[in-house]
Chains A and B, each alone.
Chain A
Amino acid sequence: PHFIIRVPEKEDALCFNINEEPGVVLNLIRDPSTGISISGQIIGEKKVNVKNQKTYFGRLGIVNTRADLKIEVTTQKITLWKGLDQTNFTWMNTVMVKQEGLSLQINRKKNIVVSIGDGVSFVIILHQVWKNLPYHHDFLGLYTVDSHRMSVQTHGLLGQFFHPIDFEVFDVRPGSDPSKPDATMMVKNHKLTVTRGWQKDYRKDPRHGSEVPCWFIHNNGAGLIDGSHTDYIVSDIF
């Protein structure tokens, strides 16, 4: 999966990929203060043994420990737990679910908007592909809205970027791909070689997406993210 970090202060964006084996679960957001955490499980393409296999999120888990609430979203269904009680929906539903501390809007075959507590919202997008395609299958995208409502203790592969981040880009030079110049970036006291590129933001157009120019950080975001990407591997989405 690819990650896009918008940096409004710089009017720019950073992006990186995390390449891991299908089945691996990554901690994306964890806020010990609000009790909210989100993890995502990686899926690969339909055919295994493909060189440079692309990976996606196929399953996301949202937990709010304070409200004893769990939400599991797969490309097939959406399951909501309050304690041990379970409610199931499919992507064929258009339904608004409201309960104390949660608002969940499922928009049939498009997206889910989850609002927890005092207004932290996440949008999960369903990317549907033609079911007979030989390689790809449906996958999910996660977007955060109002991330400023999360506490300063928030961490995770995405969550760590909810706090302001500073970086400098200099020495822009031609890269191996003439359309994608390389540059040097100073971020978190690391000097990185980055590449100018584009990634897709699918919030408005889940089918085609819109291109977001960004500085691409190589090697699974090494140097940009705190620690190594493997530090974010967890055993289960909850």
Chain B
Amino acid sequence: RSFRKRSLPDTVLNGIEVYSTKISCKVTSRFAHNVVVTRAVNRADTAKEISFDVELPKTAFITSFTMTIDGVTYPGNIKEKEVAKKQYDKAVSQGKTAGLVKASGRKLEKFTVSVNVAAGSKVTFELIYEELLKRHLGKYEMFLKIQPKQLINHFEIEADIFEPQGISSLDAEATFMTNDLLGVLTKSFSGKKGHVSFKPTLDQQRSCSNCTTSLLNGDFTITYDVNRESPANVQIVNGYFVHFFAPKDLPVVPKNVVFVIDVSGSMYGRKLVQTKEALLKILEDMKEEDYLNFILFSSDVTVWKDTLIKATPENLKEAKDFVKNIQDQGMTNINDGLMRGIKMLNEAREANVIPKRSTSLIIMLTDGEANVGESRVEKIQENVRNAIEGKFPLYNLGFGYNLNYDFLEKMALENHGLARRIYEDSDADLQMQGFYDEVANPLLVDVEVQYPENAIADITQNNYQHFYDGSEIVVAGRLVDQDLNSFTADVKGQGALNDLTFTEEVDVKETEKALKEQKYIFGDFIERLWAYLTIQQLLEKRKNVQGEEKENLTAQALELSLKYHFVTPLTSMVVTKPEDNIEQEAVADKPLEGKPEPITSSYATQYHHQPPAKPYYYVDGD
């Protein structure tokens, strides 16, 4: 260490010392409960602004935030958005409010709060958020963004994972990891329990031996999977159940894929190059039993072949040549491109060109809005809906920001698919391939999960067009009869070779008892998991409907959001914070994917412990 004259320790920056930051994650049956606590003190002679910012996954719901200043706690209150907005508008008119949450990058949202703290005062921030970890390519992933602004006396990440099925693998890694830091990262699992701990010392946090800046800057990711001796697992606590289903070792159902690709002028350059690279890679991964075709749309529609073609090595070679020669031109005729693809799949099925036991899908990629041919989005949606008639899913990939993502998402959801944004970045080709990998291996189609009618209620989505290898179907619900001893859950689906019915017999009392005996779990986690999943699915359904139905879905989602204290797109959390002896309100809203806003750097940099010349106010995008 170099000799430096310091009046204050390295942990003090601009008069603020951060004692500790602790991120505690408790995961029980894929449901993650995360608590982020930061304690700081103002060592300066004057009042200072102290900021607390946490980046959390977009799929997470904030459930609680409190700020404690010199022993006085200021909690966040979760309210209906409209109610919060009235308060919020009033505060805005007085120039006193700030939005707290904002979309940040691809996967994250940023929660930020800052408060003026008197000289010598201490502040503790605590944020809690919850999330159901989704199984993706065979692993659950918990993502933590680590970005402390300064060195911290006690920095700690602790994750406790409890999985009743038993943990089969567990890993943790960070983008900022060094050999030195590896020594303070521990990860272990045994049976049903897994543990990850990361506690770098102050010196280990330094970006260089005598720096006062932190090396901890990047992504900290925990991945794990569970044992799958049995394809299904049902867990019950306090009258709520969750049913996980992920069979393995089933053959892949052959698929018939039509790629509908936007080659309009706006795709010129890097976008088209990346699209071609992704398609070439996807072609390499195609299996011989699959069928495919390419439909290119600009002002007009062109097809590679008139009908679907089997993915033989010769045909794939020809397909690659075709892809390499794709050129950009003209405008964007989404309607005709999609209609041509749908017609092709329908005709192939009717003419028995494709195997009886196979599944069809359309993957559309566009970077813009329909501006030629049928350009009314409602009409395109109607045309597509009527042509597909629920027979196969439509997946929409939206390339970049200059497009109507809401339209793409609604259209995909209406047709049992999903929309995904492809970010204009160096890895856009990998994003496209990654998406394809997710949907490339259907193991079951037309999956239906059935329970005895009178035994359960309020179940979440229980039918899925596909089950993909490496994913998991999760159904949760409530037991109607609290004295129920057992029930049977059947999962029916069509595999590549056969029709399968998986049966799970559940001994309610035994299952519940086994879980309650575990200290690791937090009592009502299945109920919260059920609420989380229900809200998520109601919000998704809500995108597809209008009028009374939409109102009903909204009301249900809102009721649950308020009951379980989730900050969802229907609720806001109002944080009252003391500012110069005047209480000021801030609102935490959930930003919506459909309405992305360019990330303003001013927002990201405004809170660096220097009191701004005047308070900075911001309203969220939604």
B337 within 8 A of A: no
Chain B residues in 8 Å Cβ range of A87: 249-251, 495-498
Q: Does chain B have a CB within 8 A of A145?
A: no
One digit per residue, 1 when the CB lies within 8 angstroms of any chain A CB and 0 when it does not, for chain B 495-506 equals 111111111110
Residue of A85, A93, A95 touching B497 (CB-CB under 8 A): A85
Minimal beta-carbon separation of A217 from chain B (angstroms): 41
Query: Any chain B CB within 8 A of the CB of A160?
Result: no
Question: Which of A96, A102, A108 has a CB less than 8 Å from the CB of B500?
Answer: A96
Residues in A whose Cβ lies below 8 Å from that of B499 = 97-99
A99: which of B498, B501, B504 is its contact (CB, 8 Å)?
A: B498
- Which A residues from 85 to 112 make CB contacts under 8 A with B? 85-90, 92-99, 102, 108
Chain A nearest Cβ from B498, distance in angstroms: 4
A82 lies within 8 A of chain B by Cβ: yes
Interface centre among B230, B249, B498 (most CB of A within 10 A): B498
Q: Which of B241-264 contact A (CB under 8 A)?
A: 247-251
Docked Cα-Cα span, A97 to B497, in Å, equals: 9
Q: A86-B251, A87-B250 are in contact. Are A93 and B502 (CB under 8 A)?
A: yes
Cβ contact within 8 Å between A85 and B496: yes
Interface residues of B in 210-232 (CB under 8 A from A): 229-231
Contact call A93/B498, Cβ cutoff below 8 A: no
Check B231–A88 contact: CB distance below 8 A.
no
- How far is B229's CA from A94's CA once the two chains are assembled, in angstroms? 11
Residues B230 and A108 in contact, CB atoms below 8 Å apart: yes
What string of 1s and 0s marks CB contacts (under 8 Å) between A47-87 and chain B?
Answer: 00000000000000000000000000000000010100111
Task: List chain A residues, Cβ under 8 A from B251.
Answer: 85-87
Which of chain B's residues have a CB closer than 8 A to the CB of A82?
497-498
- We find that the number of chain A residues with CB closer than 8 angstroms to chain B is 18
Residues in A whose Cβ lies below 8 Å from that of B230: 90, 92-93, 108
Our count of residue pairs bridging A and B at CB distance below 8 angstroms stands at: 53
Q: How far is the CA of A92 from the CA of B502 in the complex (A)?
A: 11
Kindly state the separation between the CA atoms of A87 and B251 in the bound complex, as whole angstroms: 6
Q: Which residues of B contact A94 (CB under 8 A)?
A: 502-505
Most buried by A among B247, B251, B496: B251
Report the separation of the CA atoms of residues A95 and B231 in the bound assembly, to the nearest whole angstrom. 10
Closest to A97 in B: B498
- Pick from B229, B230, B249, B497 the residue with the most CB of A within 10 Å: B497
A99 to B501, CA, bound (A): 12
Which residues of chain B are within 8 angstroms of A97 by Cβ–Cβ distance? Answer: 498-500
- Give the distance in Å from the alpha carbon of A87 to the alpha carbon of B503 in the complex: 17
Which residues does chain A contribute within 8 Å of B503, judged by CB atoms?
94-96
Q: How far is the CB of B119 from chain A (nearest CB, A)?
A: 64
Write the B502-534 contact mask toward A (1 if CB under 8 angstroms, else 0): 111100000000000000000000000000000
Nearest residue (CB) in B for A90 is B229
B501 touches A96 (CB 8 A): yes
A47 CB → nearest B CB, Å: 27
On chain B, the residues within 8 Å of A90 by CB distance are: 229-230
Chain B residue at minimal CB-CB distance from A95: B502
Chain B residues, Cβ within 8 Å of A102: 498
Q: In the complex where A82-B497, A97-B498, A99-B499 touch, is A92 in contact with B229 (Cβ < 8 A)?
A: yes
Q: Which of B157-212 touch A at CB < 8 Å? A: none
The CA of A102 and the CA of B502, in the complex, are separated in Å by 16
CB distance from A222 to the nearest CB of B (A): 42
List the A residue with the shortest CB-CB distance to B254. Answer: A85
Closest to B503 in A: A94
Instruction: A94 to B501: give the CA distance in the assembly, Å.
Output: 8
Q: Which residue of B lies closest to A84 (CB)?
A: B251
Instruction: Scan residues 457-503 of chain B and give those whose CB is less than 8 A from a CB of chain A.
Output: 495-503
Q: Which residues of A contact B229 (CB under 8 A)?
A: 90, 92
- Residues in A whose Cβ lies below 8 Å from that of B248: 88
Q: Could you tell me if A98 and B498 are in contact, using CB atoms closer than 8 angstroms?
A: yes
Q: How many angstroms from the CA of A102 to the CA of B247 in the assembled complex?
A: 20
Closest-CB distance, B493 to chain A (whole angstroms): 11
Q: Interface centre among B248, B503, B505, by most A CB within 10 Å?
A: B503
Contact call B505/A99, Cβ cutoff below 8 A: no
Most buried by B among A86, A92, A93, A102: A93
| Residues of chain A in range 165-195 having any CB-CB distance to chain B below 8 Å | none
Residues of chain A lying within 8 A (CB to CB) of residue B502: 93-95
CB 8 Å contact bits of A128-157 with B (1 = contact, 0 = none): 000000000000000000000000000000
**How far is A99 from B502 in the complex, measured between Cα atoms in Å?**
15
Residues A89 and B498 in contact in the complex (CB < 8 Å), given A94-B503, A95-B231, A108-B230: no
Contact flags A210-225 to B (C-beta < 8 A → 1, else 0): 0000000000000000
What residues of B have a CB within 8 angstroms of the CB of A92 in the complex? 229-230
- The CA-CA distance from A94 to B231 in the complex, in Å, is 9
With CB as the reference atom, state the residue of chain B lying closest to A77. B249
User: Cβ of A93 and Cβ of B249 under 8 Å apart?
Assistant: no
State in angstroms the CA–CA spacing of A97 and B501 once bound together.
Answer: 7
Docked complex: B568-608 residues within 8 A CB-CB of A: none
CA distance A85 to B253 in the complex (A): 11
Query: Which residues of the partner chain A approach B500 to less than 8 Å between Cβ atoms?
Result: 95-98
| Minimum C-beta distance from B219 to chain A (A) | 35
Chain A residues with Cβ below 8 Å from B505 are 94, 108
A93's partner among B231, B495, B496 (CB-CB below 8 A) is B231
Q: A87-B250, A98-B498, A99-B499 are in contact. List 6 more A-B contacts (CB 8 A).
A: A82-B498, A86-B251, A87-B495, A90-B229, A92-B230, A96-B500
15 interchain pairs, CB-CB under 8 A: A80-B497, A85-B251, A85-B497, A86-B249, A87-B495, A88-B248, A88-B250, A90-B230, A93-B230, A94-B502, A94-B503, A95-B231, A96-B501, A97-B500, A98-B500
